[in-house]
A and B are shown apart, each in its own frame.
Chain A
Amino acid sequence: MPAEPAAATCSAGVARRTTGPVGTLRLVAAVAGKDLKVELRSREILYTMALFAAVIVVVFSFSFVKDQKALVAAVPGVAWAAVVFAGTIGLGRAFEREREGDTMRALLLSPAPRLAIFAGKTVAIALLVVAVEAVVLPLCLLFFNVDLGAAVLDLVLVLVLGAIGFAIVGTVFAAMLLRIQSRDVLLPVVLYPILVPMIMSGTKATAAILAASDADAWFWIKFLAAYDCIFTVVALWTFEALVIE
């Protein structure tokens, strides 16, 4: 069968490649784009995640108030706790939503490679987490009375790397748990221990940036990047092994 079966029977239009690296990237973009488009229409997951994260930041910062000022040392922990918890909710909801209309089945039924489908979902979730971080960061800066100046960009980098790490590991685990009973409870149980290095390096980097010690901050940023790379490789390998049945 030719790579583009429809081209054999259709006279009009140009067939766009869906095979090979370019084709796969195009499919990833299509799936991610679809996820984001669906999300933007209802904005349900986005609002839930953002509100949940905001509530966590407010409650935690309130708990650490002393002399009417919130303790700056608490910022890294508060920020990352908010991101991870809100992210887990978003992760669960994103896969749950594919159950309405049974669209997960539609995706798996298509000739798109499984890897492309889940890579697309990873991209979408990473962007959702970044959106949540865009809420968490200003709130933290506000409530904890922190002025960073140009160092904010470093912090943004840390948050983005963290979002990527979360999305990769989270999507792989959520995908692995798709057909399992009790998936909602099991996802955080199995996911959080694996996220520990990410959370640790994220908080350490954040603390270093707040304390204006650049060397430390860049060390942890590199560690976080290494975490992302290592688990991308592991995810790709196990995914392939899991899919080949």
Chain B
Amino acid sequence: MRRYLVPLLAACAAVGLAGTLYLVFYVTKLEQNLFFNQKIFYWHVPNWFMLFSMVFLCGGASIGYLVKRDPKWDDVAFAAGELAVLFGAIGLVTGSIWGKAAWGHWWIWELRLTTSLILWLTMLGYALVRRFAGPGSEPLCAGLAIFGMVNVPLVYFAVKLADKLGQASAHPKAKVVAQLDASMKGTFWLSVLTFALVCALLFLVRIDAIRDARRLRAVRERGLDAGILEP
């Protein structure tokens, strides 16, 4: 059954992406303020959802790994960490484009943007360490992920409280999704679903690759230790 899951997800995701694009460009109404530029919202927000869910998955799996010491948890953390970097990058770029259209700036230091940037940088560091640290570094990476996760609320509150006396945030409020027109809402949630499918698909593919690499390494190590394999 597992063998069919990846092609199935891929097919669904492809359909979803095509469908969303069609809906976004041909069906949904133009938004009052930004008109055409607002359409990037359909890609931007789902990517942030994916980023945050991947970050918490990575942090949670890291805690699980340190407690249970089972490599499967570490595989999950590894895959989740990499995907967090990917979706975060897309989110930052799309957000920047939207920001330029909406506020006239490619970047401003407001609450959500700052927190997301720091979070993304943390995950980037995580991905780099995983890539360059070599074998035996799993507990270290788990520790990093945990520190990063604890850091998120601290950064969030630091920026929020710093802005307390500053001007109101230029970022659209959270309620904006609930206020959407019916057609836009439908398209939006379809877009979220599509990106969730893409995320799940990439996650499964990546975790399979990680798991296989780890198992191959383990078998090779057993062979070398037993003297059967020559280095």
Q: Which residues of A contact B (CB under 8 A)?
A: 169, 172-173, 176-177, 179-182, 186, 189-190, 192-194, 196-197, 200-201, 204, 219, 223, 227, 230-231, 234, 238, 241-242, 245
Contacts and interface: CB of A to CB of B under 8 A. Distances in A.
B143 A238 contact: yes
A197 B129 contact: no
A78 B15 CA distance: 53
A242 B132 contact: no
B139 interface: yes
Q: Closest 3 interchain pairs by CB?
A: A190-B125, A197-B154, A193-B122
B136 interface: yes
B10 interface: no
B154 A227 contact: yes
Given A180-B134, A181-B132, A193 B161 contact: no
Given A190-B129, A194-B122, A200 B158 contact: yes
A223 B161 contact: yes
Contact of A230 (B132, B154, B155, B158): B154
A192 B147 CA distance: 12
Chain A binding surface SS class: helix
B158 A189 contact: no
Given A179-B136, A241-B143, A194 B66 contact: no
B162 A200 contact: yes
B143 A193 contact: no
Interface in B60-84: 66-67
5 contacts: A190-B128, A190-B144, A193-B118, A193-B119, A193-B122
B228 interface: no
A186 B140 CA distance: 12
A179 B154 CA distance: 29
B139 A245 contact: yes
Interface in B13-32: none
A202 B132 CA distance: 32
A180 B125 contact: no
Contacts of B147: 169, 172-173, 194, 231, 234, 238
Interface in B112-134: 118-119, 121-122, 124-126, 128-129, 132-134
B158 A182 contact: no
Contacts, number: 90
A135 to B, nearest CB: 27
Contacts of A219: 161
Interface string B139-154: 1101110111011001
A211 B66 CA distance: 46
Given A194-B147, A241-B66, A200 B159 contact: yes
Contacts of B151: 193-194, 196-197
B183 interface: no
Nearest to A189: B125
Contacts of B157: 223
Given A193-B118, A234-B147, A180 B133 contact: yes
B137 interface: yes
Given A197-B155, A242-B139, A245-B139, A181 B150 contact: no
Interface in B72-109: none
Nearest to A227: B154
Contacts of A192: 121
Contact of A176 (B66, B124, B140): B140
A227 to B, nearest CB: 6
Contacts of A204: 162
Nearest to A203: B162
Given A194-B151, A200-B159, A238 B146 contact: yes
Contact of B128 (A189, A223, A231, A242): A189
B163 to A, nearest CB: 11
A196 B155 contact: yes
Given A196-B118, A196-B155, A223-B158, A186 B128 contact: yes
Contacts of B154: 197, 227, 230
A193 B146 contact: no
Contacts of B118: 193, 196
A245 B143 CA distance: 14
